[in-house]
Chains A and B, each alone.
Chain A
């Protein structure tokens, strides 16, 4: 699908991260690693800290303890714009596009750091990956459907060919079929093209299908980790979603 070789992927290493919004930390001592070409997913019940971890990786939440390394660079607690310039692309869960701007302008904003002559070429590349967007370049981003909007959000990030991709619940509010297609066709492809991809998701089954490795979060900490096959076979996996988060697993319950 890609016309030219992407920017080489960068390894992401978050070590012992504790972070919060002032007051008690929401996540404690989390260690996550993603290698270029890998899709690593992070799942877990609500309130387990998945979004908070992503935000701490992109400078939106203060990291109280621990380090964030991308490639050789230490990006702990740097500003979001510096982290973006270091090659980290972030697709937030909400407010993921510039609603008042057109689709084309969104892509242009995504390519803000590019040199002028590179922009058109990159836009063509992104449109080749998301052909649906070509027919709506002039449309206001706020008027797109859920799936189209997410594609635009990812396309915006793709403009910079980041070495690391962070996606926060990309399939939220999407119909199951659209969600499945987004994950299997597009998210997987990012890794195939060489980036290190970290996906936070609610839809555990769907994202497991495209992951190389998965972390299961609960109560602000990593509860389990492994390949999808290992996790699917483990009895504790389903429980961690339906058994009650950080409270002790009910004894003798289903």
Chain B
């Protein structure tokens, strides 16, 4: 039983990392209609930026800020410099996915070329361990959960209450009509990529913290979890991504209490394939 409760704790941590990542991914898709498979690569890029800062003797939390800024910049450049030109040319969605795979190779192995192939870890303490009612979480893990909750709250606040959030939702819902309302959708899209790029960087660093040790290819498998969460909730739906992250995060960790730990990701894969086959619009999305 205590194993079960402990796994729920781990599930919450995984769900927290996943939520930050999945919300960013899904918002990018919602506003530009591109499955940015390079998202995982940009995450690990951010993780290594923080590592570089960390190696210079600074706390990894300061490195996190550098990662956030760096990934925001890279994401904006990616959309403006690569995806938008291809879309303007009328390239098919398949072409864009292949392009995003190419970008993944460039970024991921670019990082590996610079940082080397061995696994690294951040120099940081894990803080006091909380043991309560079967839960078994370190201080850092609790910080990650708290960060994620903050970010979710922030995203919710942004989308519901700010002008920018409204503009983002309008642009995602109907870009042409949004322009007729006077919304400068070009700017909105660029800002969206900057914000989601920041989320991507944040997700990369907390992912690396939670994983302990990581190398340049560490996010390959994680991207599948992100896709599973996104498609469960419905591509483009921010709240769907949050829900999907919670479900996938818990399901993978809780299943590890019952089946060999190596198979815990299988659940995510199965969920994703079932969603694609049965209801691609997701649980929350409207039927196409």
Q: Do A and B touch, yes or no (CB under 8 Å, in the complex)?
A: yes
Measured CA separation A112–B163 after assembly (Å): 7
Of A98, A157, A160, most B-chain CB atoms within 10 Å? A98
Interface string of A193-234 (1 = CB under 8 A from B): 000000000000000000000000000000000000000000
Q: Is A72 an interface residue (CB 8 A)?
A: no
Q: Chain B contacts of A129 at CB under 8 A?
A: none
For window 84-103 of chain A, which residues contact chain B by CB distance below 8 Å? 84-85, 89-90, 92, 95-101
Interface string of A142-183 (1 = CB under 8 A from B): 100000000000001100100000000000000000000000
Q: Is A79 an interface residue (CB 8 A)?
A: yes
Query: B173 touches which one: A90, A100, A110 (CB < 8 A)?
Result: A100
Q: Is B274 an interface residue (CB 8 A)?
A: no
Q: Quick one: closest B residue to A81, CB to CB?
A: B179
Measured CA separation A234–B253 after assembly (Å): 79
Question: Distance in Å from the Cβ of A42 to the closest Cβ of chain B?
Answer: 19
Please judge, given known A-B contacts A81-B184, A81-B185, A98-B170, whether A109 and B178 are in contact too, CB under 8 Å: yes
Q: Chain B contacts of A80 at CB under 8 A?
A: 176, 179-180
* Beta-carbon contact of B170 and A95 below 8 Å: no
Please judge, given known A-B contacts A98-B170, A101-B169, whether A60 and B176 are in contact too, CB under 8 Å: yes
Tell me how many residues of B have a C-beta within 8 Å of chain A. Answer: 18
For window 107-129 of chain A, which residues contact chain B by CB distance below 8 Å? 108-110, 112-113
* Beta-carbon contact of A112 and B176 below 8 Å: no
Q: Is B156 an interface residue (CB 8 A)?
A: no
Question: Distance in Å from the Cβ of B43 to the closest Cβ of chain A?
Answer: 28
Query: A58 touches which one: B166, B170, B180 (CB < 8 A)?
Result: B180
Query: A98 touches which one: B163, B174, B182, B184 (CB < 8 A)?
Result: B174
Q: Chain A contacts of B184 at CB under 8 A?
A: 81
* Beta-carbon contact of A90 and B180 below 8 Å: yes
* Beta-carbon contact of B177 and A85 below 8 Å: no
Measured CA separation A113–B180 after assembly (Å): 11
* Beta-carbon contact of A97 and B180 below 8 Å: no
Please judge, given known A-B contacts A98-B170, A100-B286, A101-B169, whether A112 and B183 are in contact too, CB under 8 Å: yes
* Beta-carbon contact of B169 and A84 below 8 Å: no
Interface string of B152-175 (1 = CB under 8 A from A): 000000000001001101100110
* Beta-carbon contact of A110 and B181 below 8 Å: yes
Q: Chain B contacts of A101 at CB under 8 A?
A: 169-170, 173
Once A and B bind, how many residue pairs between them come within 8 Å at the CB atom? 66
* Beta-carbon contact of A109 and B170 below 8 Å: yes
* Beta-carbon contact of A112 and B179 below 8 Å: no
Of B166, B179, B184, most A-chain CB atoms within 10 Å? B179
* Beta-carbon contact of A96 and B169 below 8 Å: no
Q: Chain B contacts of A96 at CB under 8 A?
A: 177
Measured CA separation A130–B121 after assembly (Å): 62
Question: Distance in Å from the Cβ of B190 to the closest Cβ of chain A?
Answer: 14
Q: Chain B contacts of A99 at CB under 8 A?
A: 173-174, 286
* Beta-carbon contact of B174 and A84 below 8 Å: no
Q: Quick one: closest A residue to B167, CB to CB?
A: A112
* Beta-carbon contact of A109 and B176 below 8 Å: no
Q: Quick one: closest A residue to B236, CB to CB?
A: A100
* Beta-carbon contact of B181 and A95 below 8 Å: no
Q: Chain A contacts of B181 at CB under 8 A?
A: 81, 84, 109-110, 112-113, 156, 160
Q: Quick one: closest B residue to A60, CB to CB?
A: B176
Measured CA separation A156–B176 after assembly (Å): 14
Q: Chain A contacts of B182 at CB under 8 A?
A: 81, 84-85, 112-113, 160
Q: Chain B contacts of A95 at CB under 8 A?
A: 174, 176-177
Interface string of B244-288 (1 = CB under 8 A from A): 000000000000000000000000000000000000000000100
Please judge, given known A-B contacts A109-B166, A112-B163, whether A92 and B183 are in contact too, CB under 8 Å: no
Q: Quick one: closest A residue to B187, CB to CB?
A: A81
Measured CA separation A99–B178 after assembly (Å): 12
Question: Distance in Å from the Cβ of A103 to the closest Cβ of chain B?
Answer: 13
Question: Distance in Å from the Cβ of B42 to the closest Cβ of chain A?
Answer: 28
* Beta-carbon contact of B177 and A97 below 8 Å: yes
Q: Chain A contacts of B286 at CB under 8 A?
A: 99-100, 142
Question: Distance in Å from the Cβ of B284 to the closest Cβ of chain A?
Answer: 10
Question: Distance in Å from the Cβ of A145 to the closest Cβ of chain B?
Answer: 17
Of A81, A84, A99, A108, most B-chain CB atoms within 10 Å? A81
A-B contact pairs, 28 of them (CB 8 A): A58-B180, A79-B179, A80-B179, A81-B179, A81-B180, A81-B181, A81-B184, A84-B181, A84-B182, A95-B176, A96-B177, A97-B174, A98-B169, A98-B174, A98-B177, A99-B174, A100-B173, A101-B169, A101-B173, A109-B166, A109-B178, A112-B166, A112-B167, A112-B181, A112-B183, A142-B286, A157-B180, A160-B181
Having A90-B180, A96-B177, one finds 12 other A-B pairs with CB under 8 Å, namely A80-B176, A81-B185, A84-B181, A95-B174, A95-B176, A97-B177, A98-B169, A99-B173, A100-B286, A101-B170, A109-B166, A112-B170
